[in-house]
A = this chain, B = another copy of it.
Amino acid sequence: MAASARRGPYFCGIDAAMDVVSGKWKPLILWELHDHGIRRFAELRRGLPGVSEKMLVQHLREMEEDGLVRREVYPEVPPKVEYSLTEHGVSLNAALTSLGEWGTERMRRIGAEKVSVG
Q: Is the interface of A mostly helix, strand, loop or mixed?
A: helix
Interchain CB contact (< 8 A) of A106 among B17, B106, B110: B17
Question: At the interface, yes or no: A36 with Cβ under 8 Å from chain B?
Answer: no
Cβ of A103 and Cβ of B31 under 8 Å apart? no
Interface residues of A in 87-110 (CB under 8 A from B): 88, 91-92, 94-107, 110
Q: Point out residues on A near B: beta carbons under 8 Å.
A: 7-18, 20-22, 27-28, 31, 88, 91-92, 94-107, 110, 112-116
Known: A7-B112, A14-B100, A17-B102. 19 other contacts (CB 8 A): A8-B112, A8-B113, A8-B114, A9-B116, A10-B112, A10-B114, A12-B28, A13-B99, A13-B100, A14-B103, A15-B28, A16-B103, A18-B27, A18-B99, A18-B103, A94-B98, A95-B99, A97-B98, A98-B98
